[in-house]
């Protein structure tokens, strides 16, 4: 009954989410990623540049729809320079503000040596202004070197078309008879692109993912150590029998109640606290090109580790503590002891839901962590208004941490709905308050960093399917151990039917979340041409996928500073208040304008094309 109801609701939800996705795509405003695809594994032919290769290929095979492209640069070092420049600018602004508000005329000083704690003392403003100017010159040199040298150009590019239909055809079809060349896929949203990973060679991705797979395997077993410690706290009677020296401490009623009721769940929660960040790091290391894909991959890894450790780990380790002597004297009784330990762990999981689930929802409503972190930054880190704005930056919902927990609690509810239904009210309370709180947070608090168009729903569907399969296997083993032979054959078809249901839903609805139907693309193109007949798509798409570091390097605030003056650094213009002649300042501005024009011409030469 539980399986039939769950599958029915999953089917209806999948159908409804698919419908909402298509409605959202139809009503969505025009964005560059709707017209753009990402092509990788561009083959190098002789001395022909990658940019020219891309242009020739798409002009030949998509001549009616191709309009422009932007090659991918390895600009990670340039990104570091731009970041250092911004930090240096913040420091100069802070020092000028500090000097202006000081009653004395003494200038702030710093040391030139290691970590600014050794070496000769110098004027801080002069030192950081000189450093800023050096960074400006280095940024100009590195940027022009990147734009002019082919070794910084990756075998990939963003290709834009004059219609969504043309982009859909290119993104969803094989471009070459060699399936390892000219690999196309939809381009991520511009703010969703992980630029660091685009510089990773495509052929290195498989080895990276294989390495991460081994790491996840070892991490899952490594976390059995804190699980063992947690279960040692939860099974005080077993500790009392095996370690007699702990008996005086365990016999105290207060310590016993804390250890058995609250501490096990809290210890387990703390031991798993940093796993979401670790999974995000490993998923980024795999080389995925968008933050949404990184987050989905991290959610999958976190769910696997949670199921292996929180569910199976507690059950297995708990049965070891309870039946330790039986395991040693009679290994044949291990399956029976495992089956009998599943109902015994219901109390622990109730405690875990209260400590982890309920407290998570309450903390999400209060957001005390974000509140305290802001004030800590305000006291320690914030020096300028720019720092304050960064500290007040809006956050986004961490799907990589929330979705796996929802899947785990759903698993616990399915498993113990038959074995120990007492756990269900605690799970229902968690989901009820979680729905209210997270709905408010998504609507009124969080600001999305990217738009995935319901791409996370298939992941949630898989989590629930895994929960169903684990429930079936657990119940089959439990009933066979409990000598309920008459009921066991009735459960055997359930895992098979659940898998068939999952495959049907994946084949029926899955493509709608990976691809864009040509019919929908054509309809939206026709509607847009009717409403905006004079739309210039080319100007809308130009430089939409230019590397952010290259864009930042062309900003107006790269004008060099005079080391002896005080400047207005709050805007893009820098007002000089020094003894430098006006003619020198004008010459510097002219040189910067010429530099910008040179770089812009270089960028345009990489992406020239015809309508």
Could you report the per-residue pLDDT of 284-321, keeping only the tens digit for each? Answer: 999 999 999 999 999 999 999 999 888 888 777 655 55
The alpha-helical segments, DSSP class H, found in 395-456 are 399-419, 424-440
How many Cβ atoms sit within 10 Å of the Cβ of residue 434? 19
Length of the chain: 611
C-alpha atoms less than 13 angstroms from C-alpha of 449 in its C-beta half-sphere: 15
Mean pLDDT of the chain: 80
Rounded CA Rg of the chain: 30
Would you say residue 131 lies in a domain? yes
Report percent pLDDT > 70 for the chain: 76
464 lies in some domain:
no
Asked whether residue 83 is assigned to any structural domain, the reply reads: yes
Number of structural domains (the chain) is 3
The span from the CA of 9 to the CA of 570, in Å, is 55
Last-in-domain residue among 465, 499, 515: 515
pLDDT per position as a tens digit, 259-285: 665 666 677 777 788 899 999 999 999
Last residue within a domain, chosen from 498, 515, 532: 515
Give 63 or 481, the one with higher predicted confidence.
63
> Nearest to residue 362, comparing CAs of 425, 429, 422, 408?
429
Of 65-74, 528-537, 587-596, the one with minimum mean pLDDT is 587-596
- Asked whether residue 114 falls in the same domain as residue 255, the answer is no
Q: Is the residue at 241 inside a domain?
A: yes
Asked if 430 and 499 sit in the same domain, the reply is: no
Q: What is the DSSP letter of 567?
A: -
Would 460 be classed as within a structural domain?
no
Could you tell me the CA-to-CA distances from 406 to 4, 171, 276, 460 in Å, in that order?
A: 20, 33, 14, 9
Q: What is the DSSP string of 159-182?
A: EEESSHHHHHHHHTS--SSSTTSS
Closest-CA residue to 59 (of 160, 156, 153, 150):
160
Q: How confident is the model at residue 107 (pLDDT cuts 50, 70, 90)?
A: confident
Q: Is 473 exposed, middle or buried (0-12, 13-18, 19+ CB in 10 A)?
A: middle
Task: Give me the pLDDT at residue 462, please.
Answer: 95
CA distance 155 to 550: 18
Residue 606: closest CA among 180, 146, 46: 146
Rounded CA separation 283/314 (Å) = 26
Helix (H, G, I), strand (E, B) or coil at 290: strand
Same domain, 419 and 431: yes
pTM: 0.83
Same domain as 325, residue 260: yes
Q: Collapsing DSSP states into helix, strand and coil, what is residue 200?
A: coil
| pLDDT of the residue at 86 | 85
Same domain for 500 and 593? no
* 277 assigned to some structural domain: yes
- Asked if 248 and 296 sit in the same domain, the reply is yes
Long-range pairs of 108-115 with CB within 8 A, sequence gap ≥ 24: none
Query: Within this chain, do residues 437 and 484 fall inside the same structural domain, yes or no?
Result: no
Looking at the structure, tell me whether residues 324 and 379 fall in a common domain: yes
Count the neighbouring beta carbons within 10 Å of the beta carbon of residue 575: 10
Partnered with residue 458 across adjacent β-strands are none
Please report, for residues 558, 561, 602, the alpha-carbon distance to residue 596 in angstroms, rounded to integers and kept in the order given.
Answer: 10, 17, 10
Is residue 36 within 8 Å of 158, Cβ to Cβ? yes
List pLDDT tens digits, range 35-84. 999 999 999 888 889 999 999 999 999 999 999 999 999 888 998 998 88
Which structural domain range is residue 10 located in? 1-29+476-515
Q: Are residues 259 and 180 in the same domain?
A: no
Task: Say if 468 falls within a structural domain.
Answer: no
Q: What is the mean pLDDT of residues 183-202?
A: 91
Q: Spell out the residues 6+ positions from residue 597 whose beta carbon is closer than 8 angstroms to its own.
A: none
Contacts of 27 (CB under 8 A, 6+ apart): none
Instruction: Count CA atoms closer than 13 A to 500's CA, side-chain side.
Output: 7
Q: Please check whether residue 216 lies inside any domain of the structure.
A: yes
Q: What pLDDT score does 599 carry?
A: 55
CB contact at 8 A, 191 and 449: yes
DSSP H or E stretch at residue 510: helix 493-514
Find all residues with CB under 8 Å of 123, minimum gap 6, and list them: 107, 108, 109
Query: What are the tens digits of pLDDT across the range 427-445?
Result: 999 999 999 999 999 999 9
Domain termination residue (choose one: 464, 496, 515): 515
Q: What is the distance of C-alpha 36 from the center of its chain? A: 22
Residue 23 and residue 41 share a domain = no
- Per-residue CA distances from 499 to 298, 332, 505, 581 (Å): 24, 31, 10, 78
Is the pLDDT at 329 greater than 70? The verdict is: no
Residues 231 and 272 reside in one and the same domain: yes
Statement to judge: residues 11 and 62 lie in one domain: no
- Which residues make Cβ contacts (< 8 Å) with residue 598, sequence separation at least 6? 144
């Amino acid at each position: 009954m539980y399986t039939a109801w769950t599958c029915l609701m999953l089917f209806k939800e999948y159908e409804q989410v698919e419908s909402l996705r298509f409605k959202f795509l139809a009503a969505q405003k025009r964005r560059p990623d709707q017209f753009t695809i990402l092509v990788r594994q561009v083959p190098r032919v002789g001395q022909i540049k990658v940019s020219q290769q891309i242009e020739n290929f798409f002009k030949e095979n998509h001549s009616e729809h191709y309009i422009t492209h932007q090659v991918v640069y390895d600009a990670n070092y340039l990104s570091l320079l731009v970041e250092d420049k911004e930090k240096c600018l913040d420091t100069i602004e802070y020092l000028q503000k500090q000097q202006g508000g000081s009653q004395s005329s003494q200038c702030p000083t710093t040391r030139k040596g290691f970590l600014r704690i050794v070496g000769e003392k110098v004027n801080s403003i002069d030192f950081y202004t000189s450093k800023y100017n050096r960074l400006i010159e280095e940024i100009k040199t590195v940027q022009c070197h990147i734009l002019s040298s082919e070794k910084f150009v990756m075998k990939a590019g963003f290709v834009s078309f004059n219609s969504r239909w043309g982009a859909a055809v290119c993104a969803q079809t094989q471009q070459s008879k060699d399936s390892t060349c000219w690999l196309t896929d939809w381009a991520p949203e511009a703010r969703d692109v992980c630029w660091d990973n685009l510089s990773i060679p495509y052929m290195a991705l498989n080895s990276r993912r294989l390495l991460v797979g081994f790491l996840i395997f070892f991490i899952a077993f490594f976390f059995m150590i804190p699980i063992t410690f947690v279960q040692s706290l939860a099974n005080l009677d077993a500790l009392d029998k095996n370690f007699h020296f702990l008996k005086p401490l365990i016999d105290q009623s207060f310590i016993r109640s804390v250890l058995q009721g609250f501490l096990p769940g809290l210890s387990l929660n703390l031991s798993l606290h940093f796993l979401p960040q670790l999974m995000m790091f490993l998923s980024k290391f795999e080389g995925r090109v968008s933050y949404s894909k990184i987050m989905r991959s991290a959610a999958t890894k976190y769910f696997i580790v949670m199921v292996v450790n929180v569910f199976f780990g507690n059950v297995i380790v708990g049965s070891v503590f309870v039946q330790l002597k039986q395991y040693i004297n009679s290994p044949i009784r291990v399956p029976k002891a495992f089956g009998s330990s599943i109902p015994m762990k219901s109390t622990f999981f109730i405690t875990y839901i209260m400590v982890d689930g309920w407290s998570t929802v309450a903390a999400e409503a209060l957001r005390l962590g974000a509140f305290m972190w802001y004030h800590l930054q305000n006291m320690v880190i914030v020096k300028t208004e720019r720092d304050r704005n960064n500290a007040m930056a809006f956050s986004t919902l961490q799907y990589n941490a929330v979705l796996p927990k929802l899947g785990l609690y759903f698993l616990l509810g399915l498993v113990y709905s038959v074995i120990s239904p007492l756990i269900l009210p605690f799970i229902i309370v968690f989901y009820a308050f979680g729905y209210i709180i997270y709905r408010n947070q998504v609507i009124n608090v969080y600001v999305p960093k990217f738009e995935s168009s319901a791409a996370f729903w298939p992941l949630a569907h898989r989590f629930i399917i895994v929960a169903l399969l684990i429930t079936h296997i657990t119940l089959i083993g439990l009933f066979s151990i409990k000598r309920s032979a008459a009921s066991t054959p009735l459960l055997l078809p359930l895992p098979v039917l659940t898998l068939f249901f999952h495959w049907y839903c994946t084949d029926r609805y899955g493509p709608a979340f990976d691809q864009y139907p040509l019919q929908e693309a054509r309809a939206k193109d026709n509607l847009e041409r009717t409403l905006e007949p004079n739309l210039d798509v080319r100007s809308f798409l130009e430089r939409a996928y230019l590397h952010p570091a290259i864009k930042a390097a062309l900003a107006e605030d790269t004008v060099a500073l005079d080391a002896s003056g005080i400047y207005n650094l709050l805007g893009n213009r820098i007002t000089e208040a020094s003894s430098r002649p006006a003619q020198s300042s004008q010459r510097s501005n002219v040189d910067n304008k010429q530099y910008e024009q040179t770089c812009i011409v270089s960028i345009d030469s990489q992406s020239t094309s015809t309508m």
